[in-house]
Amino acid sequence: MTKKQLFLSAAILLIASSTSAQGNGMAGITEATNMVTSYFDPATKLIYAIGAVVGLIGGVKVYGKFSSGDPDTSKTAASWFGACIFLIVAATILRSFFL
């Protein structure tokens, strides 16, 4: 076998293994994408549920401060409201980026 034939057979073997690896890589990427997108609906609903619980706890806390006459009530209300809005907006934005 000459050097030219050896080089040609090595190049063909390398190209064949390269195309085989690309096919498996694309299948893996597609499978990973499908797995990630299948988790987004439950994760989004979980974030919404956490936001609802945080909102209820915040409402009770603000009501307690308001009833006791605490002058810091508006700051507490704004911070809890902002946290709930952040959770809802973050879940929506993440969903729109990845789906």
Based on C-alpha coordinates, what's the Rg of the chain?
Answer: 28
Contact yes or no for 88/48 (Cβ under 8 A): yes
% pLDDT > 90, the chain = 0
Contact yes or no for 36/66 (Cβ under 8 A): no
Q: What is the pLDDT of residue 76?
A: 83
Nearest to 92 by CA among 29, 47, 37, 53: 47
Answering whether pTM is above 0.75, one says: no
Mean pLDDT of 13-27: 62
